[in-house]
Structure 1
């Protein structure tokens, strides 16, 4: 079942991105997708205890998380730009290391959280060790954003079925 789901996903992506609908390209996409699904379906569905229905819910919820993260990145860019271009704001620079404890249970949830933090300007995830994350923040404002659990709740809502 997982190989079929992997095949359908890969072939759908092939058709969308190739834009070619002749027999040669469709058969090439079909064969490529079958081969890749056969050798790598266990990579895509590593945690098989999660049903395909639960994975579908993740796919449906992810665009909302992505849009929220995009907006957070825009706001952080504005903050960093303000710090860089306003002469008096240089005093607000206060680089610090922030250690947070996450309640996320899955490695994938922690992975998404760590990368989301790093994608947000002004913060970099330095280390993830169990449920602890070490993050570098460029200012008190960015450090307080990391310390709040808003992003963690958003990740939990999408990838662990909890949160807000």
Structure 2
């Protein structure tokens, strides 16, 4: 039930924020369209933990803040390699096993790797990711452990406790 309430709240806030129109008729029509959308989403069985992850907002926002810092830190070696006279890179592929269980967590982890300069997620197969990195010395499976752990906590952190309850 919390997912329905969260979805209704987000859709209403989005509609009000984007339209900026507060006339009674349009507010009634907006309410009707939001209810129809939620009922259709429920019939399609898409209102679940991944479809409306509003209970994970604070962990995901803290993960984004950490990721932003990591992106800025990863920019320096790439900028130095681009600006230097000799292109001092040693590209490599590495396979990384992830602890992420849900598709949402795997997607967050894979996209985070791709957003970080110098690395690209090439393939996701089960619980393994194939990553291309510009610098072989930085491309060890252990170098991705913290990002894996943080993305797991942000998206799947309470998943086991919820399933057990």
Q: TM-score range by the shorter chain?
A: 0.7 to 0.9
In the other structure, the counterpart of 2:70 is 72
* Distance apart, 1:70 and its partner CA: 1.4
Aligned counterparts of 2:105 and 2:119: Cα–Cα separation in 1: 18
**1:25 to partner: Cα distance:** 4.1
1:141: Cα distance to partner? Answer: 5.3
> Which residue matches 1:29?
30
**TM-score normalised to the size of structure 2?**
0.78
Equivalent of 2:79, from 78, 81, 84?
Answer: 81
CA shift at 1:21, angstroms? 2.7
Q: How many residues align?
A: 155
Q: Which runs of 5+ in 1 are unaligned?
A: none
Q: 1:83 to 1:159 in 2, by over 3 A?
A: same
Whether the 8 Å CA contact 1:123–1:142 is kept in 2: the answer is no
Change (3 A) 1:67 1:45: same
Alignment of 1:45 with 2:48, yes or no, is yes
State the Cα distance separating 1:142 from its structure 2 match: 4.6
- Map Cα deviations across residues 42-100 of structure 1 (whole Å, 9 max, x no partner): 3241669xxx9xx5541121111111111222222333222111224x12x11111101
For 1:26 and 1:78, the matched residues in 2 are separated by: 50
Unmatched segments (≥5 aa) in structure 2: 159-165
TM-score by length of 1: 0.79
SS of equivalent to 1:21? coil
Task: Report the secondary structure of 2:22's partner residue.
Answer: coil
CA drift at 1:106: 1.9
Q: Which protein has greater RCO, CA pairs closer than 8 Å, 6+ apart?
A: 2
2:161 maps to: none
Q: 1:24 to 1:120 in 2, by over 3 A?
A: farther
